[in-house]
Each structure stands twice: as C-alpha cells, then as structure tokens.
Structure 1
Amino acid sequence: MAQTQHTVDETRPERNCSEFDLLLVAIPLALLAGVGSVVLFPIPQFVGVTLGAAVAACLVGYSIYAIAQSAYMSAEETAGSHHTTAE
C-alpha cells in the first residue's frame, strides 16, 4: 500500500479582529466590571450587577443593529448588481 505525504503550507493567515469579535469580548467584560465594581466600591450588589448588565445589553443591542444593517446593505448591493435598467 503506497502512502503519499502532503506538505502543509506553514504560512498562517493574518488574524484581524472584527468589530463583532471585539463585541464578543466586551460583553462579558461589562458583566465582570459590574460585579467587580461591587468589590471595589461601596455600592450595593444589585446596583453593580444591574449597571454591568445594562452596559452588556446595550452592546448586544448595538451588535444586533449593526449586524442587521450590514446584512441589509450587503443584500441591497447584491440585489442592485443583478438589476439592469433599460433606457
């Protein structure tokens, strides 16, 4: 039985963080900051957790809005490239 060996190209693609990757990092950080603020500052626990959750909810809302906008724009561009006008 003959075996063939495939060489693997060792070049790696550049890793670029998109806006959505950063949002995925920021959401749990906002929650942790809310919980951490309870430890660092003399505020009630529900206030810190609520503030962290509010910031995280705003980030989630922004990401949903941004995703919807970018999907809408790309759909319009795709649809616009298929339409031809007869003049």
Structure 2
Amino acid sequence: MINNENPLKEIIMTKISNIKGNLEDEVIYLIGKKDGSGKNALYKEMEIIISDGDSGKLSCLELKGLEGYNPRIIIEKYKV
C-alpha cells in the first residue's frame, strides 16, 4: 500500500563539482518532498546531501523552513 500522507523524499537535482578544491569531485544532491505535480509541484522539507569525493562520506544540510517551486543548485566560484 502506498502511503500518500507521508511521501518519501526524491532527488530534485544532482550536480558534480570540485567544491573542496582537491583532486576529486563531490556529488551534490538536492532532495525534498514533492507536493503536487507538473509546473505546480511545490517541494518541501528539502536537504542538500554532499558525497565527499575523497572519502565518500555523506554530509547533510537541512534547509529548514525553505520550500519552493522548481528549486535548483547553483555552484559558482566567488572571489574574496
């Protein structure tokens, strides 16, 4: 039986980038619970999960209180 009251989180977007500046790339996932369908889908309870390129260790960052339509991961280099 499918429990529609508490759907599982799904992968919204995946990026591969060298965010630590070492030799290995990290895999960054944006996950969340989808409410609705199509262009009107609202994503709630989102998290960012990063898989370390060197060790494979997972780090999770909950995005508490954030929800949105068509969420995206953007990775940019910034000069300080």
User: Under a length normalisation based on structure 2, what TM-score does the superposition of the two structures give?
Assistant: 0.19
Which has more radius of gyration? Answer: 1
User: Under a length normalisation based on structure 1, what TM-score does the superposition of the two structures give?
Assistant: 0.18
